[in-house]
Structure 1
Amino acid sequence: MRIAMIGTGYVGLVSGACFADFGHQVTCVDKNAGKIEALRRGEIPIFEPGLDALVASNVKARRLDFTTDLTAPVAEADAVFIAVGTPSRRGDGHADLTYVYSAAREIAAALSGFTVVVTKSTVPVGTGDEVERLIREANPTADMVVASNPEFLREGAAIRDFKYPDRIVVGTDNERGRKVLGDVYRPLSLNQAPLMFTARRTAELIKYAANAFLATKITFINEIADLSEKVGADVQQVARGIGLDNRIGSKFLHAGPGFGGSCFPKDARALVKIAQDHDVQLRIVEAVLGVNDIRKRAMARKVSNAAGNLRGKTVAVLGLTFKPDTDDMREAPSIPLVTGLLDMGAKVRAHDPAGMEQARKELPDIEYCDDPYVCVRGADALVIITEWAQFRALDLKRLKREMAQPVVVDLRNIYRPEDMAALGFIYEGIGRRRTSPVNVVEGGRARIASYTRR
């Protein structure tokens, strides 16, 4: 089948490359000429494991190409996917649909023959109705159907998520539209991926409801982590204990510094605004957003509590992106944390395997290091913000030698408190009691024998 993908951002580029890998003929369209030229040269504008090879192989096979002009790709397409950005609108938190509506008008002028126009961007309930109205207004004779097909891709695992999805949601009541999108996704039938057909508005709401629920799970376990610290419990064991219940599940029950990224904060805010527009209050989602904002700002105080007065001290930060295996800094917990450390008078050094170029735009007043051990050299405290795999296997003895003070604040709980204490670290995690080394004299020599919990 022939597919036009409007937008070469995260969703558009991953979706376009994966559709091409299924054997479809895909043209990705973007108005940014520099971006299109870079893609033609094989330069990928985002960091996503495996995406560069996937794009290259399908370009080589002539199943994937790029252009700035949508006229011919749309005219030839069986399905046109709108995958443009829907950022939060300034001032009110609503999704900004400017790019979606602009794309719809341009698509309308180029339609030829029966075409399914698909909103893959995350859009508020009812957006498909407006897209259809705009297309029919601009091209009354167009033979087309507007459908919703929300994406559920995790950054860092997007290609696998696309090829092995938990479900594929298609929102349309039109039988011809269902057949076209059924054919588009037929290659996934070998993976037994459930193809779920719904009404268009239902599909639009499914996306927002899913993200808001996952954000709620994260916020819930973060609050349980705070309680665990006070009562002397271990939040990781609590999470495992409740996650083994099939009704709850273990995913998204990892305590940390709060959620960020391109989806959860934006989509939760948009869902609240959608509800308010329809005289409905989503008190749980509103609370999730408030608790998460407060938590991200509070993490700097957690560092200060562990390391003491930070004025004039050097704090090393490992991990800046909102999650590992991406360079995405959108609403990353590192931003309010580092800003808070600077406000407390600390000097901040940072290292991230992929996100430093993007981080410099958000945090220009800190020092960036290409190596984690250079980053911690002479530091009075180390903060682990993002759980990159590289940080799980650090040489802890070398780490301690490099640091001026052996204080580690692990906001992702990637190390065991007893191991850190045995090596002489003052160690603070999330939802676990702080551990400190105890020197015991034996045979005239001091050694680390055990640890205390505060």
Structure 2
Amino acid sequence: MRVAMIGTGYVGLVSGACFADFGHVVTCIDKDPHKIDRLTRGEIPIFEPGLDDLVARNVRGGRLFFTLDGAQAIREADAVFIAVGTPTRRGDGHADLSYVYAAAEEIAVLISDFTVVVTKSTVPVGTGDQVEAIIKRTNPNAQFAVVSNPEFLREGAAIEDFKRPDRVVVGSDDERAQAVMRELYRPLSLNETPIVFTGRRTSELIKYAANAFLAMKITFINEMADLCEKAGADVQQVAKGIGLDKRIGAKFLNAGPGYGGSCFPKDTVALVRTANDYGAPTRLIETTVAVNEARKKAMAQKVADAIGSNDLRGKTIGVLGVTFKPNTDDMRDAPSLDILPALQAMGAKIQGFDPEGGHEAERLLPGVDFKTGPYEAAEGADLLLIITEWDQFRALDLDRLKILMNAPVVVDLRNIYKPGEMVRHGFTYTSIGRG
């Protein structure tokens, strides 16, 4: 089948490359000349393990193309995907749908034969109705169906998630559109992947509900971690004890500094706003948002307490990891963006290292001195702060670390080390929820 993918951000690029790897012919379209130029030259503008090889293989195979002018690709497409950004709108917290609606107008003037228009972007309930209305108004003779097909990709594991998903959700009551979507995802039948067909509005809500539930699960275990610290319990054992219950499950029960990234923060806020608009407020999600924001800000105090003073003038803090999670260069709503400026406001000098996020972090975290490796970040530090659990931080040479540091104090916000081991190596060690 022929696919046009509007948007070459994280979702659009991964989805387009994976569809091409299934054997479809995919044209990825973007208005950013610099991004298209880089992609055409084989440079991947985001870090996602395996994506560079996947893109290169399908470009060589003649199945994946990149262009600024998508007119021909849209005209010839069996399915046109809208995979543009829906950031939080300034002022009211709603999702900004201007890019989605602009894409709908662009598509409308180009389609003639029956075309499936698919919203892959995360959009509030009712957005598909608006996209349909825009296309009908712009091109009354257009033959089309608008489908919701939300993505469930985890950064750092996106290719695996696309090719071996738990489920594929398709929101459409149009039989022709359903047939097109079945054919697009037919390669997944080998994995017996469930394809869940729903109404369009239901599909749109499934995406928000899924992200909100996972964000709530993270926030729950973080509150349990606070209780564990006060009560002398171990949050990791609590998580294991409840996670073995199949009704609960072990995933997303890792205590830490709070969730961040491109999805959970904006999607939970957008769901709250949408729910309020419909007169059905989501109090649990409202609380989740508030508790998570407070938690990220509270982590700086945890560092100050480990040093023993809120006056950090003259103190150097080494930082390992600034991205919101490992295996990505994504800094969007990363906890580090709250923690490090707060420490700087207390007077601390910050030096850090991140395997992939350093370039973007230099722009977002002015005054932080980024080093070339973890030991360089620790050298001369009065405290070492672990924010992101990159694999290369999990087995550091503790003896070397102790020699390099000015004081052997570690605050581990991801619980990647064992308290007893750290004490045996002579460190004062603080972690999350292990009282």
TM-score tier, shorter chain, comes to over 0.9
Q: How does 1:119-138 map to 2 (within 5 A)?
A: 119-138=119-138
Match of 2:238 in 1: 238
Match of 1:391 in 2: 393
How big is each residue's C-alpha offset from its partner over 1:179-227, in whole Å with a ceiling of 9 and x where there is no partner? 0000000001101110000000000000000000000000000000000
Which of 396, 403, 406 is the equivalent residue of 1:404?
Answer: 406
For the aligned residues, what is the CA RMSD? 0.5
| CA positional deviation for 1:392 | 0.3
Match of 2:226 in 1: 226
Q: Does 1:382 align with 2:384?
A: yes
CA distance in structure 2 between the partners assigned to 1:129 and 1:79 by the alignment: 18
| CA positional deviation for 1:280 | 1.2
Q: How does 1:97-176 map to 2 (within 5 A)?
A: 97-176=97-176
Provide the secondary structure at the position in 2 that maps to 1:110.
coil
Match of 2:207 in 1: 207
CA distance in structure 2 between the partners assigned to 1:372 and 1:296 by the alignment: 23
Match of 2:71 in 1: 71
CA distance in structure 1 between the partners assigned to 2:362 and 2:375 by the alignment: 20
Match of 1:27 in 2: 27
In structure 1, give the amino acid aligned to 2:387: I
Match of 1:327 in 2: 329
Provide the secondary structure at the position in 2 that maps to 1:393.
coil
Match of 2:286 in 1: 286
| CA positional deviation for 1:360 | 1.1
| CA positional deviation for 1:348 | 0.3
Match of 1:346 in 2: 348
CA distance in structure 2 between the partners assigned to 1:290 and 1:311 by the alignment: 30
Question: For structure 1, which runs of at least 5 residues remain unmatched after alignment?
Answer: 434-454
- Matched-pair identity in %: 67
Match of 1:437 in 2: none
Provide the secondary structure at the position in 1 that maps to 2:220.
helix
CA distance in structure 2 between the partners assigned to 1:17 and 1:121 by the alignment: 16
CA distance in structure 2 between the partners assigned to 1:349 and 1:192 by the alignment: 48
CA distance in structure 1 between the partners assigned to 2:79 and 2:396 by the alignment: 48
After the TM superposition, list the runs of 4 or more consecutive aligned residues in structure 1 that deviate by more than 3 angstroms. Answer: none
Which of 311, 336, 339 is the equivalent residue of 1:337?
Answer: 339
| CA positional deviation for 1:311 | 2.0
Further displaced range: 360-369 or 166-175: 360-369
Match of 1:443 in 2: none
Match of 2:375 in 1: 373
| CA positional deviation for 1:432 | 0.9
| CA positional deviation for 1:239 | 0.2
| CA positional deviation for 1:249 | 0.2
CA distance in structure 2 between the partners assigned to 1:410 and 1:53 by the alignment: 34
Match of 2:93 in 1: 93
TM-score normalised per structure 1: 0.95
Match of 2:267 in 1: 267
Q: How does 1:299-338 map to 2 (within 5 A)?
A: 299-309=299-309, 310-338=312-340
In structure 2, give the amino acid aligned to 1:364: P
| CA positional deviation for 1:112 | 2.3
Q: Does 1:422 align with 2:427?
A: no
In structure 2, give the amino acid aligned to 1:198: T
Instruction: Judge conservation of contact 1:20–1:58 (CA < 8 Å) in 2.
Output: yes
| CA positional deviation for 1:74 | 0.6
| CA positional deviation for 1:14 | 0.1
Instruction: Judge conservation of contact 1:70–1:107 (CA < 8 Å) in 2.
Output: no
CA distance in structure 1 between the partners assigned to 2:291 and 2:163 by the alignment: 34
Provide the secondary structure at the position in 1 that maps to 2:318.
strand
TM-score normalised per structure 2: 0.99
- Structure ID, larger Rg: 1
Instruction: Judge conservation of contact 1:170–1:195 (CA < 8 Å) in 2.
Output: yes
CA distance in structure 2 between the partners assigned to 1:27 and 1:391 by the alignment: 39
Instruction: Judge conservation of contact 1:29–1:68 (CA < 8 Å) in 2.
Output: yes
CA distance in structure 2 between the partners assigned to 1:360 and 1:193 by the alignment: 41
Match of 1:252 in 2: 252
In structure 2, give the amino acid aligned to 1:144: F
Match of 1:8 in 2: 8
CA distance in structure 2 between the partners assigned to 1:411 and 1:218 by the alignment: 14
| CA positional deviation for 1:33 | 1.3
Provide the secondary structure at the position in 1 that maps to 2:109.
helix
Tell me how many residue pairs correspond in the alignment.
Answer: 433
CA distance in structure 2 between the partners assigned to 1:420 and 1:393 by the alignment: 12
Provide the secondary structure at the position in 2 that maps to 1:348.
strand
Provide the secondary structure at the position in 1 that maps to 2:394.
helix
Match of 1:17 in 2: 17
Instruction: Judge conservation of contact 1:76–1:112 (CA < 8 Å) in 2.
Output: no
Which of 405, 415, 423 is the equivalent residue of 1:413?
Answer: 415
